[in-house]
Amino acid sequence: MAQILAPSPQWQMRVTKNLMDVSPLTSKMWSSLVLKQSKKGAIKTSSKFKVYALQSENGTVNRVEQLLNLDVTPYTDKIIAEYIWIGGSGTDVRSKSKTISKPVEHPSELPKWNYDGSSTGQAPGEDSEVILYPQAIFKDPFRGGNNILVICDTYTPAGEPIPTNKRYRAAQIFSNPKVIAEVPWFGIEQEYTLLQTNVKWPLGWPAGGYPGPQGPYYCGAGADKIFGRDISDAHYKACLYAGINISGTNGEVMPGQWEFQVGPSVGIEAGDHIWCARYLLERITEQAGVVLTLDPKPIEGDWNGAGCHTNYSTKSMREDGGYEKIKKAILSLSLRHKDHISAYGEGNERRLTGKHETADINTFSWGVANRGCSIRVGRDTEKNGKGYLEDRRPASNMDPYVVTSLLAETTILWEPTLEAEALAAQKIALKV
C-alpha cells in the first residue's frame, strides 16, 4: 500500500445504504472465469459455469441458472443471511444460510445461531454446540437483493469465547479508552496464491515444472506473465459491492500470486473486512475451479513467499511531530519481537529468511524505504515528519484480529521501562 489515506466515514457495523440499489453480481459477470469448456458443445446461456452433475442437453442447466439468479424481492420480505465464522484451524472460513423475516441494517437485529463444533474441530462430540454471535454485516454479491453476509464470532452456550475466537480479545483492546483516543488505522496487504485444482501447483505453471525466473510477473500484463486476473478482478468488484473497504489489487512477484489491499480501516473493522474479503475470494475461486492458498511459502526455492504486510498509524503519528511517535512505537515493537512473531502466522519461518524482500525471523530491524526490514518507514513519512509504519512480518495466513490488536496493544497500552527502551534504541540504531 503506497500510503494511508483518510478512512471512509462508514465503520462497517452497518450496511452502506447507498449500496442497496446496486445490481447483484449475476452469472454473466462470472462467465470469463471459466477454465474448462464442455466437449459436447457450448450451451447458449449467459453463464459458462457448468453444473456437471446435470445433463446440459435437456436444458436443466438453464433452469438451475435461472433459479440461482431469481430475484425474490417482489414476492417476499424475507432475506437470506449467510452466517460466516472462522473454523478450527484458525484460517478456514465456514458458513451456513438462515432465512430472516425482513431486511436488517445492524447485526444487533439478527438472532444468534449455533452449529456443530465437533465437525469443525472446535468442540467435543458429547458437547458440540457452538453459538454464533453476529458482529458485522455486508451485502451479499452472490445472491444480491437485500441478502447479506454476516461475520460472526463464536462462543460456548454459557457465553464464553471459544479458543479460536480471536475477535473477542481484539474487541476488548480496541474498546480501551486509550486506544479509542488514538483512532488506530490499518491498511492490510493480503497476498495469496492460486493453485490448479488437481495438481495443487500454481496457476499457469506447467504441471511439475517451473516458469521463467521472477522479474516480469509483478504488476505485469500478458498471457505468459499473468494468471488469474479475472479472479482478482471479480473479487475486487465483489468486495466493492459488499461494502468492504478494498483499496486496490495487483499481480505479485511470483506468477500465480496476487494481492489485494483493505483499508484504511479503524480498529476492529480491519479484521472484519479482511475475513469477509477472504470469504468472498474462497467462494469465487470455488466457482472458478481454482484452489486458494494462504500458505506463506507455497513453493520452496527462489520464489517469493506470501505475506500480509500491515500498515499502521495512530492519531499521534499522523499529527505534526508524529515521526517521533513512530520511532517510539518501533522501539516497543523491537522489545516484543518474539511475541509478535509467534502470533503472526503458521509457517512464517519458511518465508522470513532474509531473502525475497523479507527480514530474518530472528532479527528485528527497521529502515526507511527498506523492504528487507521488519518495519519499513516510507520516504514521505520521513520527509513530512508524520505518517505511518509498515509491519512486514505478518504471514499471509495471519489472523487480522490478532495482528491489528497486538500492534495497538504494544504501541499504545504497553509501557516498557526507560532502561529497556535505551538498550533497544542502541541495539537497532534508533535515535529517539
Mean pLDDT for the stretch of residues 359-369: 96
User: Which residue(s) pair with 195 in the sheet?
Assistant: 202, 291
**Model confidence at 398: pLDDT above 80:** yes
**Cα separations in angstroms, 42 against 93, 119, 126, 206:** 34, 39, 51, 27
The whole-number pLDDT of residue 170 equals: 98
Query: Is 303 or 45 the better-scoring residue by pLDDT?
Result: 303
Q: Is the pLDDT of residue 208 over 90?
A: no
Q: Quick check: helix, strand or coil at residue 343?
A: coil
Confidence band for 205, pLDDT divided at 50, 70 and 90: very high
Edge-to-edge strand ranges of the sheet holding 113-116 = 93-100, 79-86, 148-155, 129-139, 113-116
More reliable by pLDDT, 428 or 152: 152
Query: Which whole number is the average pLDDT over 247-273?
Result: 98
* 8 A C-beta contact, residue 182 and residue 266: no
- Alpha carbon separation from 73 to 19, 64, 142, 387, 429 (Å, rounded): 16, 18, 15, 46, 62
207 burial class (0-12, 13-18, 19+ CB within 10 angstroms)? exposed
Distance CA 419, CA 432 (A): 13
The mean pLDDT value of the chain amounts to 89
- Give yes or no for a contact between 115 and 101, defined as CB atoms under 8 angstroms apart: no
pLDDT confidence bin for 10, thresholds 50/70/90: very low
Statement: residue 429 has pLDDT above 80:
no
Rounded Cα distance between 66 and 383, Å, is 57
Query: Exposed, middle or buried by CB within 10 Å (0-12, 13-18, 19+), for 21?
Result: exposed
Contact yes or no for 235/262 (Cβ under 8 A): no
Percent of the chain's residues with pLDDT above 70: 86
Cis peptide before 264 (omega within 30 of 0): yes
> Measuring CA to CA, which residue among 315, 342, 340 is closest to residue 406?
340
Residue 222 vs residues 194, 228, 230, 255: alpha-carbon distances, Å: 17, 11, 13, 12
* Predicted local distance difference test score (pLDDT) of residue 42: 39
Distance CA 198, CA 214 (A): 24
How many distinct helices (H) and strands (E) make up the chain? 12, 13
φ and ψ of 376, to 5 deg: -110, 140
Q: Residue range 242-269: average pLDDT?
A: 98
**Across the chain, which distance is largest between two alpha carbons, in Å?**
78
Distance of CA 234 to the CA centre of its chain: 15
Contact between 366 and 430 under an 8 Å Cβ cutoff? The reply is yes
* Single-letter amino acid, residue 239: C
H-helix or E-strand containing 260? strand 257-266
Cβ proximity of 254 and 217 under 8 Å? yes
Among 109, 175, 153, smallest CA distance to 408 is for 175
Cβ neighbours around 24 below 10 Å, total: 16
Q: What is the pLDDT of residues 74-97, one digit of tens each?
A: 999 999 999 999 999 999 999 999
Q: Phi and psi for 280 in degrees, rounded to 5?
A: -60, -40
Residue with cell 473486512: 273
Q: Indicate the pLDDT class of residue 430, thresholds 50, 70 and 90.
A: confident
Residues whose CB falls within 8 Å of the CB of residue 170, separated by 6 or more in sequence, listed in order: 268, 271, 401, 402, 404, 405
Q: Report how far residue 409's alpha carbon sits from residue 142's, in angstroms, rounded to the nearest whole number.
A: 37
pLDDT tens-digit readout, 307-357: 999 999 999 999 999 999 999 999 999 999 999 999 999 999 999 999 999
Query: Which pLDDT belongs to residue 422?
Result: 82
The whole model's pTM is what?
0.87
Q: What is the pLDDT of residue 141?
A: 97
Q: Which residues contact 129 (CB under 8 A, 6 or more apart)?
A: 114, 115, 116, 117, 123, 157
Using one digit for the tens of pLDDT, what is the confidence trace for 131-142?
A: 999 999 999 999
pLDDT(282) > 80 = yes
Summarised one tens digit per residue, pLDDT across range 18-54 is 444 445 555 444 444 444 433 444 333 333 444 444 4
Task: Read off the C-alpha cell for 349.
Answer: 519461518
